[in-house]
Structure 1
Amino acid sequence: MDKLEERLIKVVPSARQLKWHELEFYSFIHFGMNTFYNSEWGNGKENPAMFNPTELDTDQWISSLKAAGIKAAILTCKHHDGFCLWPSKYTEHSVKNSPYKQGKGDIVKEMAESCKKYGLKFGFYLSPWDMHDERYGDSPKYNEYFVSQLTELLTGYGEIFSVWFDGACGEGPNGKRQSYDWQRYYSVIRELQPEAVIAISGPDVRWCGNEAGHCRASEWNVVAEKLSLPDYVAENSQKEDDAEFREKKYSFQDEDLGSRYALKDEKSLIWYPAEVDTSIRPGWFYHEDEDDKVKSLEHLMNIYYNSVGGNASLLLNIPPDKRGLIHENDVLRLKDIGEYIKKAFSDCITSKSRITASSQHNDFPLENVKTEDSSFYKACDGQERVTLTFEFEAKELVKHVVLMEKLALSQRIEAFNIIAETDSGPKMIYKGTVVGSRKICKFHAVETKKITLNIIASRISPTLRYVGIYTD
């Protein structure tokens, strides 16, 4: 094992990151003043009297998300316009001065309670940029204000799984730009919600780099520490009126963040896994003229396969409308997603197979790959190339193979292929690179009695927590 390899495998996730990896698929809820002004970016001058959802039902939101198999939800508690969806003690620009429930409403509380009711985790987005508040740009005063609001959200709404910050930083009402006290924000979160991951402009979860659902072919969890610096995130974040930003793709350099080659000269490495955020519609907030522009099931499932199925998590935005309901078209698409996933991954036949391997550590037997529990398989020390075979008594029609590594021992697999034995001989049905938290290998259905998984490169003896073979 060379020195670089030794450094790479020493980087492992924190306990909070491991819990986050298990979620895989969760939702953004963009709702606020922009919903009622038919806008994506407000200016902080909006009138709270305009905020009046007459049929708001957070149970409808969360039950719709659950139908898609979504496991958690993040609410935009305050967007760049500064309007707060909870009755904050620190500003008058909030739901308490709106017609909603005659100023007695608290949408953050309602959503948190609905998440608890339906078994979803709850998180929040709090925009550091505030176009409304006069303190923005007076850095010490605004940082105090922001920490006060952050504390309200961290202490008043139960367990928080994620605090989501973007890197947006512009001018406030006084024409000045703010200097964010990121380290203070992080300290408050760690003190009050130690299990919450801090995402995007934060140390726990990395933004994939675009808002269109484009994913890297090889997404690594171990990357250069510099990617987590807030200034780096801000530099690459969306700027106001940047219409082309959402469809942004990668340059060649951006495509590789974690290979041995990419990291060979990096002195400081961290576990910084990727999140893919995109909206079910063209916009992040609801717009009536986008009711017929909900992404197709095929489009959304392609994103799912490449994100959840490519060692990243998927944050899918679902924007409620002016009524305070998720629109019927979005509800239908969420139901379609749930039904597709359930059908595609309902019939795992791994347990029916006879499994053999070219290498097996006595303490971590091969049988462990048959379930998604915490047990796992590991090859013998020093074995970086391994072959696993799965043989069935009769022919099976196979369309998916799902692989999962034991992330607590770092991310190890660098290249693999899958061979199916057919009537016409061996056929390579999939060729891949990284595995990580979950790799969904999708291919044209093949009839076979034998599947061979060849791990042809790894950073040290590979691990597999799960190998799921699914029939068509």
Structure 2
Amino acid sequence: MAMAQEIKPYGALPSKAQVAWNDLEYYMFIHFGPNTFTNKEWGHGDEDPKVFNPTHVDARQWARTAKLAGMKGIVLTAKHHDGFCLWPSKYSTHTVRESAWKDGKGDILKELSTACKEYGLKFGVYLSPWDRNHPEYGTATYNQVFANTLTEVLSNYGPVFEQWFDGANGGNIKQPYDWNLFHSVVYKHQPNAVIFSDVGPGCRWVGNENGIAGTTNWSTLNVKGFSPGAGGPPAKSLNEGNEDGEQWIPAECDVSIRPGWFYSPDTDDKVKSVSNLLDIYYGSVGRNGNLILNVPVDRDGVIHPNDSTRLMELRKVLDASFKNNLAKKAVVTATNTRTNNTAVKVAHLNDGTNTTYWAASDAANNSVITLTYKKPVTFNRVVLQEYIALGQRVKNFSVEILEKGQMKEIANETTIGHKRILRLPDYTTTQVRINILDAKAAPVISEVQLYKAPGVMAAPEIQWAVNGRVFLACASADPEVHYTLDGTEPTRQSPRYNKVIIKETTQHGDHSKGVYAPPADATVIELPLGGVVKAKAFLKDGSSSETVTRNLGVAPSGWKVVAVDGEAVPADHPVNKLLDDDKRTVYVTADKPATKYPHELQVDMGKALTLKGFTYTPPAGESATGVVYGYEFYTSTDGQHWGTPVAKGQFANIKNNPIKQSVPFKPTEARYFRFVAVAPANENDTRAGIADLGVIAR
């Protein structure tokens, strides 16, 4: 009798809790606290707790929204860096107990954990070890204070599926965190909780706050010598994992549905588009990661309708995209199938569940899975899943289709892991092959799925030239775009934009980026002093895109940078590129021993304006240099007398979330302004980087 061919596990393996966590795939992050009411991303801990006073907290609405969006859980910022606790902690005097909400008798954690149970959602908590309010922070006793705080939450509001930590340790006081102590508290009270940080141990930060994992993404990570926060692994390792890494620490992709993490009324019109959210979904869940999408609660205590509406629009598209698994209709065959193992069946490849699997024999690190149809099928999505309980194995695979009697390759990719989703153009064929070209050990595949996803109406893009002229672009073919300039919702009766630029798309659906020159006969929209533009695309079948809004500042026509770090510069100096409203062009100050921080730039706007704010766009990307953290902003009528700064502070979280910053200040008359970079986001930076500077006028 032949011996059973048992499958030997390969490499670092997930725990049962990690396997269950990966199956969740998509859940909600909620940032809520004093910052919601102060328009700050990182509060300083000195705010009056009475500022926290939502008019009508409805945690059931949060849970209901998450459930209807197709999410499987909610992680709440129970305590952010400001130290404010959303429950009446006995280890702090900066809590809801001291707030004006419910006369100090409320408990956000209790309300949300109860609501999650009602709606069948997992409940998770974020507790920042950084505490800018607690008097013991920075002392030898603080770690035990934080451990006590953890115990309080984890023993009273469970079960908790995820404990979210970051390594933030900023400000003037540094605290050596006792991570072993913190982890032991979590596992004592919530043994099945998955712990998030830069180095896990349950799941890892993906290395950016855009929600996008690497096209190669291993669930294993090398952690020796690394720690959460500034001591974390390189961004490339976080984004892609490490092949044959020491521990199973899969990627979690965090991103906010709007700019910033906490609610601000200034971002109500900046909720991400459906097409943008789809790019994020395919770049996270579709690349072996979990997606945690932040949806901040507003000052009323509910999820804003702009956010909830967008979530429902996304759910509708995702449901339609993955409604009909075409692989179930196929005859499936595979080469090198393992024998004498009753758990291994080819039929498991298209049975619609990832709890069963097919496996190749030990001698075969490559195999071919073929789906054959009697009649042609049309598809544009391929979904593959490995049986991760036995390890992540596939290193390289390709997809082929039968076309005109020959096999044609349509995709060639690297890793699979928990789930890999390929976005492809429409293909019609009677045969699809999945070629496992290379694997660390015998491939163990749980699912092969094919889908025909519907097309999505692309939203228009509002582009702005230096001279104040606005023009519109769109990635959908033959769009009819209407716009408004008075803040109202565009309809078919609104002014129509003539000669919309048709933007190209890649085969994976990503919109090409860049600034386009408008046709000579395009509609002329002149907004030299800025304003609000809203645009919406309509098709003849009655469908339409979501509305896109852009708040424009003063056009920098005629502006010039007159001095950098106290030295005059000519009009053709490269520094003037930072006034072009194009974030791709970046100016970085000189790297000389005598010109370290602070750095400053003086700008002449050519005429006097009443200013009420400024904007700073940092450099972005892996090679970004000189992202500014601390700033001062001065104005002058003559370029000689500057007085005290009209605005000063820090761009909170700008290192991890390098997006355009808008800073309001009291209206002031000025022709000149001076931007001073006081401190860098990266401690070792000596230079200041600026992609764009602008002002907001009254």
Cα separation, 2, equivalents of 1:7 and 1:372: 22
Q: Which whole-Å deviations, capped at 9, do the CAs of 1:396-428 have from their partners, x for residues lacking one?
A: 111111100010110000111111113474332
Higher relative contact order (CA 8 A, sep 6+): 1
Amino acid aligned to 1:327 = H
- From 176, 180, 185, the equivalent of 2:182 is 185
1:412 aligns with 2:412: no
Q: Is the 8 A contact 2:239 2:251 kept in 1?
A: no
Cα separation, 1, equivalents of 2:238 and 2:129: 26
Task: Map 1:128-207 onto structure 2 (within 5 A).
Answer: 128-139=129-140, 141-171=141-171, 176-201=173-198, 202-207=200-205
Cα separation, 2, equivalents of 1:463 and 1:254: 25
Q: Which whole-Å deviations, capped at 9, do the CAs of 1:249-285 have from their partners, x for residues lacking one?
A: 956x7765424xxx6xxxx711111111110111000
Q: Secondary structure at the match of 2:307?
A: helix
> What is residue 224 of structure 1 aligned with on the other side?
222
Amino acid aligned to 2:269 = D
> What is residue 435 of structure 1 aligned with on the other side?
416
Count residues in correspondence. 442
Determine which structure has more spread, i.e. the larger CA radius of gyration.
2
1:235 aligns with 2:231: yes
The more displaced of 378-387 and 195-204 is: 195-204
- Name the TM-score, length of structure 1 as normaliser: 0.90
Q: Secondary structure at the match of 1:149?
A: helix
Q: Is the 8 A contact 1:209 1:236 kept in 2?
A: no
- From 314, 331, 346, the equivalent of 1:366 is 346
Amino acid aligned to 1:170 = G
Q: Secondary structure at the match of 1:27?
A: strand
CA RMSD of aligned residues (A): 2.0
Cα separation, 2, equivalents of 1:7 and 1:208: 29
Give the fraction of aligned pairs with identical amino acids, expressed as a percent.
41
Rate the CA distance shift 1:254–1:100 in 2: closer, same or farther, 3 A.
closer
Cα separation, 2, equivalents of 1:120 and 1:470: 27
> What is residue 395 of structure 1 aligned with on the other side?
376
> What is residue 330 of structure 1 aligned with on the other side?
307
Rate the CA distance shift 1:45–1:73 in 2: closer, same or farther, 3 A.
same
Cα separation, 2, equivalents of 1:21 and 1:182: 24
Task: Map 1:438-449 onto structure 2 (within 5 A).
Answer: 438-449=419-430
Gapped runs of 5+ residues in structure 1?
A: 1-5, 238-248
Shift of 1:113: 1.0
Cα separation, 2, equivalents of 1:119 and 1:234: 36
Cα separation, 2, equivalents of 1:256 and 1:287: 33
Cα separation, 2, equivalents of 1:26 and 1:133: 31
> What is residue 462 of structure 1 aligned with on the other side?
443
Rate the CA distance shift 1:369–1:149 in 2: closer, same or farther, 3 A.
same
> What is residue 208 of structure 1 aligned with on the other side?
206
- Name the TM-score, length of structure 2 as normaliser: 0.61
> What is residue 241 of structure 1 aligned with on the other side?
none
Shift of 1:191: 1.0
- From 328, 335, 342, the equivalent of 2:319 is 342
Cα separation, 1, equivalents of 2:259 and 2:452: 34
Amino acid aligned to 2:201 = P
Q: Which whole-Å deviations, capped at 9, do the CAs of 1:103-129 have from their partners, x for residues lacking one?
A: 111001111111111111000000100
Gapped runs of 5+ residues in structure 2?
A: 1-6, 454-698
> What is residue 240 of structure 1 aligned with on the other side?
none
Bigger share in helix: 1
Q: Secondary structure at the match of 1:9?
A: coil
Cα separation, 2, equivalents of 1:234 and 1:61: 33
Q: Secondary structure at the match of 2:224?
A: helix
Rate the CA distance shift 1:254–1:12 in 2: closer, same or farther, 3 A.
closer
1:79 aligns with 2:80: yes
Cα separation, 2, equivalents of 1:273 and 1:250: 14
> What is residue 270 of structure 2 aligned with on the other side?
293
Cα separation, 2, equivalents of 1:43 and 1:7: 52
